[in-house]
Structure 1
């Protein structure tokens, strides 16, 4: 009959190897929620550092496009970031 401690040592070694592999590979979280790509109006104003009126003017001028769901307005995160980038 095999030594039970050898079997236990073998299992612990394989668990240790798996834990090391998990620790070395960062978790990659997929963006599955499309709403994460959009900011509500208040958050967009905060990120851009502008007032409601300025946001409205930029939308009217075509600098930003909003999308509405119900009574809420949402702005694309990528469009907001492009407004924040200096002109090239």
Structure 2
């Protein structure tokens, strides 16, 4: 299984079974991790009840570039003038 194989899958959402061979993990391990702490997987997942789905584009991004780190700054709002 290669990135090109994933690109050719005609679905927008993948399953753990779809991605497991490329990652070298058991599909059930991916499902369990998605339910317990999906942030540790490194790619986006959607968990609905017992179903785990993986957005294809997000997974491809992870394969190409690795884990995306989002840095969020807290901007305080400062009001000046009357009523402040």
* TM-score, length of structure 2 as denominator length: 0.43
Larger Rg: 1
